[in-house]
Amino acid sequence: MRTVQLAPSILTADFSRLAEEVRAAEEGGADLLHLDVMDGRFVPNITFGHALVEALRKVTSLPFDIHLMVAEPERQVGFYTEAAKTVNVHVEATDHINRVLDSIRKGGAEAGVCLNPGTPLAAIEESLGEVDQVMVMTINPGWGGQKLIPAQLEKVSRLRTLLDEGGHAARIEVDGGVKVENAATCAAAGADVLVCGSSVYNDRSSVAENLASLRAALAKGS
């Protein structure tokens, strides 16, 4: 049985006390910290850039899983590779995905490729030997707090088979709408990493309590 990692997304955290929110994720047992960089072009929302990422690097030892939802990511990856464990870019955002993936690795980070809900696996099939992680978007990217699109978990299952049968070592990351009630289903479909935003950062329970609930749901589902 695979060990599934939890990567809280700060997209739904309280930005007025972001350093505290990040430390709470680390103290609560998060495996990674997911950072959504949005440019207002590839997606309609605008979040933050490399200056904030570099500032957060000073307040936590959590590995950074950086999600670039930006047009022309080849122009920006160099700002993030030093701070990140993994830099993820969208296949839909560039004409030369393998070139971008290569530049991420040359910068010292792991390379991830992302798929929007409407993008087929065929779009990345020729690049699977070049990636450390494949992110399947289970929502339409741009905003936190959306509901998971159940049909996307069938894509995760097909990707799991494709990776395993092809002998590829890339992780599968599921991003969008992950909750206590569907975490085990995501893992069963083949996910190795679960991005969790509003299921971790909310007013109902503490960050540590929410992470523990997700862990318990995964353990129960296994």
| CATH number of the 5-221 domain | 3.20.20.70
pLDDT number for residue 143: 73
142-178 confidence digits (pLDDT tens)? 777 789 999 999 999 999 999 999 999 999 999 999 9
SS3 category, 179:
coil
Q: How far apart are CA 41 and CA 151, in angstroms?
A: 26
CB 83 within 8 A of CB 107: no
Q: Strand 193-196 to strand 86-90: parallel, antiparallel, or no bridges (unpaired)? A: unpaired
Going 159 to 123 to 149 to 135, the CA torsion angle's sign is positive
- What integer is the mean pLDDT of 121-138? 97
For the entire predicted model, the pTM comes to 0.96
Per-residue pLDDT for 1 more than 70? Answer: no
Per-residue pLDDT for 202 more than 80? Answer: yes
Low-confidence winner among 88-97, 119-128, 134-143 (lowest mean pLDDT):
134-143
Catalytic annotation, residues: 36, 175
14-44 confidence digits (pLDDT tens)? 999 999 999 999 999 999 999 999 999 999 9
| pLDDT bracket for residue 79 (50, 70, 90) | very high
List alpha helices for 67-206, DSSP H.
97-106, 152-166, 183-189
pLDDT number for residue 222: 63
Within 10 angstroms of residue 96's Cβ, the number of other Cβ atoms is: 10
Using left for φ > 0, alpha for ψ between -120 and 50, and beta otherwise, residue 48 falls in beta
Q: How far apart are CA 28 and CA 64, in angstroms?
A: 16
How is the chain split into domains, by residue range?
A: 5-221
- What integer is the mean pLDDT of 57-72? 98
Per-residue pLDDT for 200 more than 70? Answer: yes
| pLDDT bracket for residue 2 (50, 70, 90) | confident
Find tokens 């490729």 and name the residue: 113
